[in-house]
Amino acid sequence: MTFLQPAILWALSLVALPLVIHLINQRRFQSVEWAAMMFLRSARALSRGYTRLRRWLIMLLRMAAVAAAVVAVSRPLSQGWLAAAGGDRGGTAIVLVDRSPSMAQASGPGGESKLDTARRQLAASLESLGVGRTILIDSVSYRPVELDSPRAILQATEAEPAAAAADLPRLMQAACEWLSESQGEAATIWICSDQRANDWKTADPAWEPIRETLAKLPQTVRLTLLGYPQPAEENLSVRVVDPVLEPRGNAWQLVMDVEVRRAAAGRPLRVPVGIELGRARSTVEVDLAGAEAILPRHAIPIDADVLATSGDPSQARGFGRVSIPADENPADNEFYFAFGVPPVRRSVVVADDAQARRVLGLVAGIPPDRLLRAAGDAVTAEAFAATPLDDVAVVLWQSAVPEGPAAEALMKFVDRGGEVIFLPPDAASNARFGGLGWGAWSEHSPPVRPASWRTEEGLLAGTRSGDPLPVGELEIRRSRAIEGEGTPLAVLPDGSPLVVRATGRGGVHFLATTPSSRDSDLAANGVVLYAIVQRAIDVGVAAVATARQADAGASGRGGAAAASDSFDWRQVDGPPSPSTEAGFHAGVYVTGEGVARDSAARDSAARGGLIAVNRPAAEDAADVVADRQVDAIFEGLRFTRFERKAGDRNGIVEEVWRLFLTAVLVALVVEGLLCLPSRTRPAVVARPAGVVA
């Protein structure tokens, strides 16, 4: 417990005053033996135990009354119900703010959000505690910012809502770094979060070193979680998937999937979804029976005035948004989209083996949809450095790992968003690319099948319907070891990797075998190879597309945060957001010169690329980290957790002196009752029979 006037607590020594007075009073009387009183003492012997107990109770109540009066005058603070307060008076408060879209959930439509409630409660509590310094670390910049006062949290731009997901391990790492540099300054880490599983990442290996760092710090560090885990059962969210511009006679039509979701299945609903394209407005009804409803391939005719072109029909593109009626969380009621004519799915094949070159060119040259266009070139490793790669989506490399000018050209290609898949050559090679290289060949007789592969992400992920790729049906007759640091996506029975993604280079993959019949049946069983190549092309095409979707805050290749570091962004649709956080707020942006919302926007969009930024899909899920998992994360540390709700008007830290004054009154009343003299009963005299009074 913390006190606003801790100096007064020295007066607690007055608790001994009733005991001292009692001892002094005992010395005022001397005991004298008197024979006539012996009979009275014997008569009162039965009641002596009760009398002594009552005297001790009276003594304890008087002492408790004095102690409660002193504590009340010292103005005690309570965090929750008489819990230990979250820091020492005058210390440092490090505030970690989760700005993710789920924190915009309110107590009701138009009510106060979880984030606003957390900011209000935290500002008031830190003021009451009288902290010396307030350090704010948010889930967008992850940089410590010192505030003038706790009240500044209410106006800080760094504590405003954003569309990006939070990364709690990264927030804690930033706090640990600041504490390590603060030269032993005692502090309390306040974590404001709604405990969403995608934000906390409980399986992240970074949590272990975080615990070790906090435990080894020389200063006192407390952790307090201000949690708002309550889900909104009736909250709805809307999302657009795969907006594609397709020709329709001499005009265009936009085809897209519209998804409406809620936290849990409930009563059937008919949800009106508004669609805006330029000045055009339309509404479509979506029937929601379970937890999710999809309106597949919804087609909208496109007028020429909503498209931005540079005179080339292949450059036609535009943007818009979908929305649903207001509910508990306004952050997921809108979704922005950008669309354009899909670019040519261009590939480059570099292969020493003729059969591998033919198979790779075939799987790369067949687009997954008849409306998509594909083109490919086969070049030698020597001629690769001079090959134009501006509009290439993927490079399939079955030759010695490139060095010199070829490696430099390939690295620039990867850095701007292209994808490269390396397949093993027969020739020996010691070179590495993206930290990976080739080892020795291994023969497998009989052929082996992949033992495991990652189905949740990457080139081998399951299909949209949830079905896994038939990776386990592949037969591998010969494979080459993959050396270096990377993430295995598929593993053979002996533990050697079949597919590896380079660490730090998301666009670089190594495949340990080739589609040649002597090495595997990748060509005969072409589903897996086709999926790998086409998925790589999908990622690479996004980097050269004139319009694309991006997750807010995603720092990987193609992510909004990474792109905003490389381009000058201008917002053309969506709520106004700080220019320094362009990749972290929902809206439509154009790379290049500043634009307006009229024809100038279309002209500027024709010169640059359109990027629609939205919340990540994981933010629409309602999975909450259990309390036991949070306790396990901070096991061994000074950790306190408090659960609150959006719109909660109660404070986190409150003065509880009234409680102690009540205790004083109760103690005095009970003490007075115990001091009351006992009622004496009238004596009953026995009379002989027949005697009349």
For residue 622, pLDDT over 60 is answered with yes
- The tokens for 488 are 């295995």
Q: What would you report as the CA-atom Rg of the chain, rounded to the nearest whole angstrom?
A: 37
Q: What is the Cα–Cα distance from 242 to 237, expressed in whole angstroms?
A: 17
Spatial CA neighbour of 189 closest among 229, 242, 136: 136
> What global pTM score does this model have?
0.72
Q: Quick check: 340 and 317 in contact, CB under 8 A? A: yes
Q: Residue 82 has what pLDDT?
A: 35
DSSP string, 313-342: GGG-EEEEEEE----S-GGGSEEEEEEEPP
Distance of CA 40 to the CA centre of its chain: 80
Residue 607's pLDDT band, with cuts at 50, 70 and 90, is very low
For residue 677, pLDDT over 90 is answered with no
Residue 194's pLDDT band, with cuts at 50, 70 and 90, is very high
Buried b (16+ CB within 10 A) or exposed e, 630-645: beebbeeeebbbbebe
Q: What is the Cα–Cα distance from 474 to 451, expressed in whole angstroms?
A: 10
Q: What is the Cα–Cα distance from 393 to 385, expressed in whole angstroms?
A: 16
Count of positions (residues) in the chain: 693
Q: Quick check: 304 and 291 in contact, CB under 8 A? A: no
Higher pLDDT, 374 or 677: 374
**Which residues does 454 contact at the CB level (< 8 Å), separation at least 6?**
460, 461, 488, 489, 490
- For 213-271, the pLDDT digits (tens) are 999 998 889 999 999 998 887 899 999 998 988 877 777 789 999 999 988 888 899 99
| Lowest mean pLDDT segment, chosen from 136-150, 263-277, 376-390, 606-620 | 606-620
For residue 42, pLDDT over 80 is answered with no
Calculate the average pLDDT of the chain: 82
Spatial CA neighbour of 226 closest among 256, 191, 262, 273: 191
> Per-residue pLDDT averaged across 608-630, rounded?
88
Tokens 């049906």 belong to 473
**φ/ψ of residue 160, rounded to 5:** -80, 160
**Which residues does 535 contact at the CB level (< 8 Å), separation at least 6?**
459, 461
Q: Quick check: 301 and 248 in contact, CB under 8 A? A: yes
Q: Quick check: 97 and 167 in contact, CB under 8 A? A: no
**φ/ψ of residue 351, rounded to 5:** -145, 135
Kind plus residue range of the DSSP H or E element containing 96: strand 92-97
Residue 128's pLDDT band, with cuts at 50, 70 and 90, is confident
Buried b (16+ CB within 10 A) or exposed e, 449-476: ebeebbbeebbbbeeeeeeebebeebbb
Residue 594's pLDDT band, with cuts at 50, 70 and 90, is very low
Residue 446: asked if its preceding bond is cis (omega within 30°), the reply is yes
Q: Quick check: 574 and 585 in contact, CB under 8 A? A: yes
Residue type, 351: A
Percent of the chain exceeding pLDDT 70 equals 78
Spatial CA neighbour of 591 closest among 556, 548, 551, 625: 548
In the beta sheet, which residues pair with residue 348?
A: 377, 395
- For 340-364, the pLDDT digits (tens) are 888 899 999 999 999 999 999 999 9
Spatial CA neighbour of 398 closest among 433, 420, 423, 415: 423
Q: What is the Cα–Cα distance from 623 to 325, expressed in whole angstroms?
A: 23
